[in-house]
Structure 1
Amino acid sequence: MFFRGLGVYARNPGLVLLGIVPGLISGALYLAGFAALIYYASDLAELITPFADDWSDWTRDGFRLVAGLALVGLGAMLGVLTFTAVTLVIGDPFYEKISERVEGRYGGVPDEVEVPWWRSLRRSLADSLRLILRSALVGVPLFLAGFIPIVGQFVVPVIAALVGGWFLAVELVGVPFYRRGMRLGDRRRVLRANRPLALGFGVAVFLCFLIPLGAVLLMPAAVAGAALLSRRALGQPVGEPAPGPVAAPIGRS
C-alpha cells in the first residue's frame, strides 16, 4: 500500500505541490530540534546519570555514552511519531485533499460524511494527542531497555520499528476514517483485524521516515498509501483506478 501510494504521488505533480509545504515546515522545526538533541546529548546524559559521578572514568564515560545514544534513539522514535501528528495538523486541508483525490480514483467513498474543517481539525488534534501519549508510554520502557547490552542495540530497535509502525498506521488512516464518520477506536479495531497489512505499511513508512528528509518528502505518499490501506481494510476496491487525472484545482469538486 505504501509503495502504491508512492507511485500515485510520484506520477502526479499536483499532489506533490499539495503535500510538500506542510512537510517542509514541520521538517525544518524537527530538524532543528533533533540537531539540538544531538548537540546536547552528552550534557543530558550527564544530567540523568548523577549516580555515576563517582565511578571510574572509563565506566562512567561508557555508561553515559550508552545513555546519550539511548536519548538520541528515543528522540528519533518520538520525533517520527510526533512528526506525523504535527504535520497532519499543519497540513490537514492539503492531506485531506490528497486522500480524497486518491480515493476518488478508486471509486470514492459511499455515504461520505461531510465534516466542517474546524471540527475535523479538533478531532484530529484530540486523537493525535492520545496517540502521542500512548507512544510516549511505550517509548519510555524501550528507552530504559536500550541500556541493556546487546538487547538494547539489536532487539529494541526492531520492537521500536514495529511499535512505531503500528502507531504511524493508526495515525495516517485518520483522514479517510473521518471521511466515513469513524474515530480513533474504529481505526484501531479495523487495523487490528488487518494487523499484518497495517504493520507492513506502518513499518515501511517508519523506516523511510528515519532517512534524513524522508518524512518531509514522503509524507504525501504515506497519506496516499493510507487512503489505499483504509479501502483495503474496509473491504472497498483498490484495483485499477478510474481514468483521469488525480490532481485538480484546490477546492471540492
Structure 2
Amino acid sequence: MNDRRDAPRDARRGDGFRAGLRFLARGQRWVLRHPRTYARCLLPALVVFLVYAAALVLLVLRLDDLAVLITPFADDWETGGRTAVRFAAGVALLGAGILLAVVTFTTVTLLVGDPLYDALSQQVEEEEATGTGTAVPEGPERPLWRELAVSLGESLGTLWRTLLLAVPVFLVGLVPFAGQVFGFVLGTAVAGWFLTSELAAYALQRRGLELRERLRLVSGRRRTALGFGMPLVLLFLVPGGAVLLMPGAVAGATLLARDLAPATPVPPAGTADAGGTDRPM
C-alpha cells in the first residue's frame, strides 16, 4: 500500500515520454545554476562540433555524386523516375549522415572530455544526495588510461548496436516521399535511445553496471528514454545546439540514471555498531 508513496518523485508523476522530458529540462537547469562547471564542459563539445560541421558540409557538396554512385540501376530509366529515385537516395544519404553524426558526436565528445563530464556527473550526484540521505556511488578505482580504454570499448559496443539499427532507417529512407518522413522519425528514435544510453553511462558505471546491464535497464524504461533522447536529437540538429546542450544532457542523464538505479540510503550514524547486528555470527 505504501509502494506508490515511497516511489521516486518522477516515477510517481509517470514513467513515460513526459518524464524523460522533465529529466532533460532539469539537467539544463542544473548546469545554468553552475556556470563555471558549464563553461568548462563546453570546450570538448565545441572542438568536436567544428570537425563534424566540416565533414557534413563536405557530404552536402558531394551529395549528388554519391546519389548517382549508389543508384547505377537507374541510369537507363526515364528522366522523371531517375530523378525521383536519386533525390530519395540523396535525402536518405543525408539523413544517414546526420544520424551517424549525432550518435558518433556524443561518443567522440564524451571521450574527448571524459574527465570533465565524469566530474560533472559526480557533482550532480553529490548535490542530489545531500538532501535525500543517499550515498554517492563511487565506482571502481581505475587509472585514467584504463578508464578511457573501458569507456572507448563500451562506447564502440553501444555504437555498433546503434549502427545496426541505422541500416533499416536508411532502407526506409530510400522509399520516395513517405519514406523520408518515416525514416526521419525512426532515425530520431534510434539516435535518441543511443544518446540516453551513452549519456547515462557515467552514473550507471558508478553503480557497477556493465554495458549489457545498462542497455537492459534503459530499454526497460523505453518511453522515458525516448522522451529524454528524441527531443535532444532534434535540439542537436540546431546549429550550435549540441555544443550548448551537451553539459546539461550529461547532468540530466545522471538524474535519469538515479531514477533508473536509485542510490543506496545512508544508514543512520551508529547503526552498523548497534548491538553488533552487522557482525557475522
Instruction: Calculate the TM-score normalised by the size of structure 2.
Output: 0.80
Equivalenced residues, count: 237
Q: Distance in 2 between matches of 1:56 and 1:194?
A: 49
Counterpart check, 1:50 vs 2:72: yes
Which residue of the partner structure matches residue 81 of structure 1?
103
Q: Distance in 1 between matches of 2:219 and 2:164?
A: 20
Deviation digits for residues 46-73 of structure 1 (CA, Å, limit 9, x no counterpart) = 1111111111223212211111111001
Percent same amino acid among aligned pairs? 44
SS at match of 2:141: coil
Instruction: Calculate the TM-score normalised by the size of structure 1.
Output: 0.89
Amino acid at match of 2:253: A
Deviation at 1:74, TM superposition (A): 0.6
Q: Is the 8 A contact 1:22 1:91 kept in 2?
A: yes
Amino acid at match of 1:66: A
Aligned with residue 219 of structure 2, among 164, 177, 192:
192
SS at match of 1:54: coil
Amino acid at match of 2:75: D
Amino acid at match of 1:59: G
Deviation at 1:148, TM superposition (A): 1.6
Most deviating of 96-105 and 189-198: 189-198
Deviation at 1:110, TM superposition (A): 3.7
Deviation at 1:194, TM superposition (A): 2.1
Which residue of the partner structure matches residue 197 of structure 2?
170
Counterpart check, 1:35 vs 2:35: no
Deviation digits for residues 44-103 of structure 1 (CA, Å, limit 9, x no counterpart) = 001111111111223212211111111001101111001000100001011011111111
Amino acid at match of 1:60: R
Q: Distance in 2 between matches of 1:44 and 1:77?
A: 17
Note closer, same or farther for the CA distance 1:85–1:110 as it changes in structure 2 (3 Å cut). Answer: closer
Q: Distance in 2 between matches of 1:51 and 1:203?
A: 35
Q: Distance in 2 between matches of 1:163 and 1:61?
A: 29
Structure 1: gaps of 5 or more residues = 238-253
SS at match of 1:34: helix
Deviation at 1:127, TM superposition (A): 1.0
Structure 2: gaps of 5 or more residues = 1-22, 130-134, 265-281
Q: Is the 8 A contact 1:165 1:205 kept in 2?
A: yes
Which residue of the partner structure matches residue 212 of structure 1?
239
After superposition, residues 140-159 of structure 1 pair within 5 angstroms as 140-159=167-186
- Higher-Rg structure is 2
Most deviating of 93-102 and 114-123: 114-123
Aligned with residue 122 of structure 1, among 149, 152, 155:
149
| Deviation >6 Å, runs of 4+ | none
Amino acid at match of 1:46: V
After superposition, residues 63-82 of structure 1 pair within 5 angstroms as 63-82=85-104
Q: Distance in 1 between matches of 2:225 and 2:70?
A: 36
Please, what is the CA RMSD of the aligned residues?
1.6
Which residue of the partner structure matches residue 118 of structure 2?
96
Q: Distance in 1 between matches of 2:231 and 2:213?
A: 23
